[in-house]
Chains A and B, each alone.
Chain A
Amino acid sequence: MSYGQTRALKGATFAVDEGELFGLIGPDGAGKTTLIRILASLLVPSGGSATMCGADVVRDYQAIRQMVGYMPGRFSLYQDLTVRENLEFFASVFGTTVEQNYRLIEDIYKMLEPFANRPAGKLSGGMKQKLALSCALIHKPKVLLLDEPTTGVDAVSRKEFWTMLRKLKNEGITMLVSTPYMDEAAQCDRIALIQNGDILQIVSPKQIVDSYAYDLFGIESKRPNAVIKALRADSRFQSSFLFGHEVHLSVEMRSIAVDAVERYLLENGIETIAVRRISPTIEDCFMSLMEHNNAIG
């Protein structure tokens, strides 16, 4: 897929199993939205093909539109219609009623119910997102395409949202979710890490962590910025980045020991609170893949 001169997606190849919760993880501009729009039959790929439940996204777009539930990246409901009216409208668009599939959205809608008569534009971010999900679900789609449903939403609402998705998985709905938040990857069955239009890797969250090719240290200190500067000055250290209350340092496997790191920092005038070996998070893995990708690309 390419826009003008920019190739938004370069030869993405992947398959999602029925009933799977599949994550597209990558930063803004990685090509997540383009990919989801192609699957939603909103864009035609410049090359290659895609099918969902046997329907080609270009040729059989009408079949696709019957079975897909789609939640675009930005809030796309009618702000001047109430919660209830939005839901009823989208039900009618799919030739169904709210009552018919109420069971599917019951859990989510219960949280919205107190505000049934409030215009959608006056809801908070978390509630808007719940309403958008309800509207995308109201026709009981086979496949749910969610484009960055948690962007700009606070941490609590994000957690609630993923709980809802896990429940929907039990209903047998196949889901493709994109997100820039690496920590959400752990919630998916499998994830595709995507950057600059390339799919870096398709793995399960556990596999990606297992295949991490470096030793990782967590360094806690009062001056994280100074730690980073000191570590970057020595080529023995692969990469070092801020990571929560620590600095994460990656080095070649078995190339250096904990106390050696401690000593090096002390030699550079930095006292550490704790230096320990840690297992990588998905974000660590993604960052190492990104760096690797940038180095060869």
Chain B
Amino acid sequence: MLKHLFKEITRRPMGVACLAILAFLYLGTIFSQFLAPYLPTDQDLANAYHPPTRIVLEDWRPHVQVYEQVDPAAARYEPVEGETAPVNFFTAGEQYRFWGLVPAEMRLFQVEEPHRIYLLGSDGTGRDVFSRLLYGAQVSLSIGFIGICITMTLGFLVGGVAGYFGGKTDFLAMRLVEFIIAVPSLYLLIALRGALAEHFEPEQMYLVIVIILSLIGWAGAARIIRGMALSLRQRPFVLAAEVMGQSSLRILFRHFLPNLASYLLVAATLSIPAYILAEAALSFLGLGIQEPGTSWGLMLQQAQELKVFTLNMWWLLTPGAAIFITVITFNMLGDVLRDIVDPRQQIVKR
């Protein structure tokens, strides 16, 4: 089925574009330690608010332009005429643990100290925005997947069980769902974040937040799945399976799951952006990821200062562009998927 889906997506130009962009983003995230020239915490206080460095070709090799600070009060840098530093590819740098496991030190590109390469400028303590963007993506892009894994599993289990068994089970499950939908989630988050902040490391806080978000978020999916399960329940193949004495669990997973898969897939794709935005919003409000961690929302929050606008430090707003692109791509992919699995609701002509 997955193979079929993939084939169908690749037949649509929009689908191909979305897949390509997402593949690009996620590969960047997976290999961020290799792609980023610096660690996200690497500071260079002498190069705060540095603008993106210009790349020039010299002897068929890219070089970075060297800058000097002309006015510290306005964080103004001017290129030094004729002074450049070569970009070295596949060189060793500070050690890191690839995926937290394998020690490695290879990096795609670097510039010899004391010069620095800032593809997207630097922030207030001279940290490379490009590197932080890559590392921040680890949080911002994975949060959606972890979130939907929890919500979809819970949604399927509760909704499926409620729809299949009906009666009292259904009644109890649906009241639970209504109860959870009625919880004002923003206030709950603020309260939980405040109460739990002391007991968790800033790095763990991220997981705590995803879990809170998804524990509130599964109820809507459960309700829809229950409705679908109610109608599936009456279908001959389910009745046949029952007559043949298959266990409830087996019916749930062998007969319900494949029939609900298409819905689950579309719903999941469409709700990933909600998680990305929720993380951004929470970090923006100071409730999400905190220093020394990094995420797109946190980076945007740190760019919320008057000086970013008055001194035109546009590069600090790139996490906003990244969020924008990701969310639009996921939404478009969701549309394409829906067209494929539900031909009656086509919105794009083939």
Real binding pair? no
Interface residue ranges, A against B (CB under 8 Å): none
